[in-house]
Structure 1
């Protein structure tokens, strides 16, 4: 019995190894391709436990796992030319899924990088064609969605030959190149400066127009005020003369006396004024007689007045 135990253990180990190498598991994110002697024997697309021939190391059945979920690859900094002749940099990405594992294995030996390289070449060509038919503004407008549908349509046939299904194509970025960006910046700057100059010119024109209106109104207001003041002054002078006339007509002697007193006050009111007059001057007639009787003339009745030693015009009180 003791001599048979090692043989039993060896046999059990061989059986376990054969059982292990005959079983493989497919999860919900995978597909499995069973390859027998280099040829595709079967494709398992449903998750579960499956069996195959053991001894894969002897070129019997082997299993290649293929992802069964949405995959994505990006294509960055594509330099494309639009219809206007300018160049732009575009970033895009593709979402795809491996829906035909058998064809995928036959086309690219199940290598995802090889499949994405072929899709990348086709995507680059499709983007150049779609952008070349449009201007730069299209990628920034509602036409962007139709551009992505066109690119997706061009990729569909090639993807189908690889066993792939294109789920979505998106353009992530559309930017000016450095040269075009500088040119566009200078053009926009010139446009803004021209617009600013136009606004400034319109503002100056409006300001000058309003200043002219204001200046004209000032002149009109001043002229109207001067006119009204002259009218009022004339009316005041007329009223004053009327009052003087009425007063003179009521008592001519008193009015004559009042006028003489006013003349005395105006001529001798300042302490630095010197008058040189003849005593018989008409100007002094109220000094000798309160009634203002004129003295007999003894000369020409005139005198010479000086202010601060200077000659002045003769003054006569009526």
Structure 2
């Protein structure tokens, strides 16, 4: 019995080795290419445990595991020229996946690095073609989405030849080069200054129109006001004269007295007015006689006693 234990151990080791070399595992992010003497015999795309012929060391069956998830290839600081001759610095990336494992194995031997080298060259060329047929401002406008779709469509045939499927293309950055940035800044500054001058000119023109209209309205308003004031003044003068005439007709003596008192109040103001008039002037008749009548003549002096009256002789 003791002599059989080594033999049993050897057989167990051989069986375990055969089982181990016959099994391979594919997870959800992988796909496996089964090769037999270098030829593709099967492709496993579903996750699980699979069997193959043992003795891969003798090139009987080999398994090459490749990615089954979305991969990303970045292009950084690519200088592209637009149709006007100016340049952009562009960063972009392409998202892709391996959709044909057999073609991927036959074209690039299942190497992601080799596939990305070829894809990078075609991606760069597609970006340059798309930018080259557009103007300076297209990449900074809403046309950018259409440009990304166009790059993807141009890149897809080359990717299919490698067994790849292009999922998406994105332009991450589009910046002006240093010299173009300064030129663009100067041009934008000149445009803004010209626009500001146009706005100022329109403002000055509008201000002149407003001032002219305001001046005309002021003249019209003042003229209308003067017209109305003259009319009102004339109507007031007429009413005053009518009142004076009515008062004079009712009591001429009182009217004369009132006018004289008004004249006294105006002429004899407390500001020290000096008047040179004769005391017998008509102006002072109410001072001489409250009734306003003429002054009574003075009586002749009486003859002295003892004096005979003179005769006409």
Same fold? TM cut 0.5: yes
Are the equivalent residues in 1 in contact too, given 2:21–2:55 (CA < 8 A)? Answer: yes
Are the equivalent residues in 2 in contact too, given 1:95–1:168 (CA < 8 A)? Answer: yes
Match of 2:308 in 1: none
Are the equivalent residues in 1 in contact too, given 2:40–2:102 (CA < 8 A)? Answer: no
Match of 1:312 in 2: none
- The 5-angstrom pairing of residues 1-318 of structure 1 reads 1-35=1-35, 39-40=38-39, 42-47=41-46, 48-54=49-55, 56=57, 61-139=61-139, 140-141=141-142, 144-145=145-146, 147-162=147-162, 164-173=163-172, 175-179=174-178, 180-248=180-248, 252-270=252-270, 272-275=272-275, 277-289=277-289, 290-293=291-294
Are the equivalent residues in 2 in contact too, given 1:92–1:169 (CA < 8 A)? Answer: no
Q: Which stretch has the larger CA shift, 100-109 or 14-23?
A: 100-109
Are the equivalent residues in 2 in contact too, given 1:77–1:90 (CA < 8 A)? Answer: yes
Post-superposition offset of 1:219: 1.8
Match of 1:305 in 2: none
Are the equivalent residues in 2 in contact too, given 1:90–1:174 (CA < 8 A)? Answer: yes
The alpha-carbon distance between structure 1 residues 78 and 253, as it changes in their structure 2 partners (threshold 3 A), is same
Superposed CA offset, 1:147-206 (max 9, x none) = 4454344434433443x1323342333523143344334433433333333233323322
Are the equivalent residues in 1 in contact too, given 2:97–2:165 (CA < 8 A)? Answer: yes
The alpha-carbon distance between structure 1 residues 223 and 295, as it changes in their structure 2 partners (threshold 3 A), is farther
Q: What is the rounded CA distance, in whole Å, between the counterparts of 1:185 and 1:209 in structure 2? A: 36
Post-superposition offset of 1:116: 0.5
Q: What is the rounded CA distance, in whole Å, between the counterparts of 1:261 and 1:28 in structure 2? A: 126
Post-superposition offset of 1:210: 2.1
Q: What is the rounded CA distance, in whole Å, between the counterparts of 1:124 and 1:65 in structure 2? A: 29
Are the equivalent residues in 2 in contact too, given 1:286–1:293 (CA < 8 A)? Answer: no
Provide the secondary structure at the position in 2 that maps to 1:17. Answer: helix
Q: What is the rounded CA distance, in whole Å, between the counterparts of 1:153 and 1:244 in structure 2? A: 107
- Long gaps (5+) in structure 2: 298-313
Provide the secondary structure at the position in 2 that maps to 1:170. Answer: strand
Q: What is the rounded CA distance, in whole Å, between the counterparts of 2:237 and 2:134 in structure 1? A: 89
Are the equivalent residues in 1 in contact too, given 2:31–2:44 (CA < 8 A)? Answer: yes
Q: Which stretch has the larger CA shift, 21-30 or 206-215?
A: 21-30
Post-superposition offset of 1:119: 0.3
Post-superposition offset of 1:131: 1.6
Q: TM-score, normalised by structure 1?
A: 0.77
Q: What is the rounded CA distance, in whole Å, between the counterparts of 1:264 and 1:161 in structure 2? A: 126
- Long gaps (5+) in structure 1: 297-318
The alpha-carbon distance between structure 1 residues 170 and 191, as it changes in their structure 2 partners (threshold 3 A), is same
Match of 1:316 in 2: none
Superposed CA offset, 1:102-157 (max 9, x none) = 44334333210111111001110111012211224444345843x44543444344
